[in-house]
Amino acid sequence: MTQGGEVRVHIVGLGPGDAGLLTRDADRLLGSGLPVILRTRHHPTVAALTFAGRVMDCDDLYATGGRFEDVYAAVAGRVVAAAEGEPVVFAVPGHPLVAERSVQAVLALAAERGLGVRVYPGVSFVDAALPALGIDGADLQVCDAHAVRVDTWRPALIGQVYSRDIASELKLRLLEWYPADHRVRVCSRLGTEAARVEELPLAELDHRPFGYLDAVFVPPLEPVDDVRRFDGLEYVVRRLHAPDGCPWDREQTHATLRPHLLEEAYEALEAIDRGDPAALEEELGDLLLQVLMHAAVAEREGEFVLGDVFEQITRKLVRRHPHVFGEGEARTAEEVYRNWEALKQAEKPRASILDGVPRTLAALAASQAIQGRARRVGFDWPDIDGPLEKLREEIGELARAADGAAREEEFGDILFTLVNIADRLGVNAEQALRGANEKFRERFGAVERLAAARGLDLRELDLEALDRLWEEAKAGGGAL
């Protein structure tokens, strides 16, 4: 690989560890008499080399204790500054373009300064690991322990695991995706005659020392065992909907699944109301399953695929957050909300500002959403006195209603006005009624328990006796 015009920086790899794996180009350049800058002297090949010119290293830059990004920038600065005076050789462990971020920093800075660079291929830690592991590298993922991101269905080889601290961080990251007993292999002293491979459970990865020539091999998971990532769940749902999958799942439609979607959403809300993280964890999984089930039905019916769902919501989030992904500005949550609504209206023009409130939304929640939208265009009382007076008026109209239809209408007006009052007070009407329902459920349960403890049948008690039990239950759990 050559970048720019006249070559001022020759970048070579020192191989994985054994000087016998040094390429001819690297050997020639290191002995050419050109100044050599070593990223580090802590590499076995260095001790076996004979240099014809000046040699310096960058080990002092690592001693600053700064971030690796800053160290790599400093290394690049040193290499490029030297190359501006005369051509130099920059030598790094392994292959210059395999898990060697300092080389990327040099390439970027040299391009900025207009310096020509040539990168010479070398033998990488991957080349040394393949025979040690006895695997085919065609499907192998090569990862850096400092920024690991893996597809668990493919084998992964992770380099830069040079200390026990790095191994601990890597273990914690991998445990987000793999089970603790997943068998991994530690490849030690790769590229040397002392190379060896040790298999152990992932949970024990950091129970041993690590060095600069070590790497970790992580075998793939079977898709059905990939239980901690979205891909695994998607695989299971696809398998259920396959031609030879589950008969029940294959019979489902959007309409038959509709009640389950609603039920799971309410169960998730209930877990939030109870402040129960364990229940919420389970219910969010059930809710996510409903999304995948509808996507599977849609794919079977030729309507859309899951990727379309991802694309829709991802593009929407990027579009409607220009202050994050673009050049827009929004300093407060209220500004973000106003921008969101403006962008939404531009994308999907509506005849009415109320069109975006689903008619299937729970009545109290819908009322709060409708009135909130009307308020944003100025259609509302100036203060809370207005809705309070309206409430008194509606209660009087309910008292004078002559028939069932009129009473239902007036009662609806009362609820609508109460929602306005709740909104002005910062109260979520739907949540408030849920709380009242739950309080009554608990209180009435206490009444039932008191009656049972005294051998009383609630159906045989008069109102006065029931009220005494109710007051006793209140005294034990707060006032309603």
CATH number at residue 423: 1.10.287.1080
pLDDT digits (tens, 9 = 90+) for 397-437: 999 999 999 999 999 999 999 999 998 898 988 888 888 98
CA distance 1 to 111: 13
The residues of the chain scoring below 70 in pLDDT are 477-480
At residue 183, the pLDDT reads: 97
Which tokens belong to 139? 């499907």
311 falls within a domain = no
Gyration radius of the chain's alpha carbons? 34
Query: Do 181 and 242 sit in the same domain of this protein?
Result: no
At residue 307, what are phi and psi to the nearest 5 degrees? Answer: -60, -35
Specify the number of domains making up the chain: 5
pLDDT digits (tens, 9 = 90+) for 68-126: 889 999 999 999 999 999 999 999 999 999 989 999 999 999 999 999 999 999 999 99
325 falls within a domain = no
Bridge-based pairing of strands 116-119 and 215-218 is: unpaired
Do the beta carbons of residue 16 and residue 124 sit within 8 Å? yes
**Nearest of 174, 228, 233, 165 to residue 200 by alpha carbon:** 174
Domain boundary among 225, 259, 288: 225
At residue 90, what are phi and psi to the nearest 5 degrees? Answer: -105, 115
Element (H, E) at 201: strand 196-201
Query: Do 150 and 210 sit in the same domain of this protein?
Result: yes
Query: Do 294 and 234 sit in the same domain of this protein?
Result: yes
Query: Do 82 and 180 sit in the same domain of this protein?
Result: no
345 falls within a domain = no
At residue 139, the pLDDT reads: 93
Sheet holding 215-218, edge to edge: 141-144, 156-159, 215-218, 183-188, 196-201
CATH number for the domain that contains residue 143: 3.30.950.10
At residue 373, the pLDDT reads: 80
At residue 375, the pLDDT reads: 83
Query: Do 254 and 152 sit in the same domain of this protein?
Result: no
Query: Do 359 and 422 sit in the same domain of this protein?
Result: yes
331 falls within a domain = no
At residue 478, the pLDDT reads: 44
**Nearest of 205, 16, 19, 4 to residue 98 by alpha carbon:** 16
At residue 299, the pLDDT reads: 96
341 falls within a domain = no
Domain boundary among 123, 152, 170: 123
CA distance 166 to 160: 8
Domain boundary among 225, 245, 266: 225
Query: Do 85 and 168 sit in the same domain of this protein?
Result: no
336 falls within a domain = no
CATH number for the domain that contains residue 94: 3.40.1010.10
323 falls within a domain = no
At residue 479, the pLDDT reads: 45
**Nearest of 128, 133, 102, 127 to residue 117 by alpha carbon:** 102
Query: Do 386 and 283 sit in the same domain of this protein?
Result: no
Query: Do 35 and 88 sit in the same domain of this protein?
Result: yes
At residue 477, the pLDDT reads: 54
Domain with 380, as residue range(s), is: 350-427
Query: Do 438 and 400 sit in the same domain of this protein?
Result: no
375 falls within a domain = yes
CA distance 177 to 149: 10
Query: Do 197 and 270 sit in the same domain of this protein?
Result: no
Query: Do 236 and 277 sit in the same domain of this protein?
Result: yes
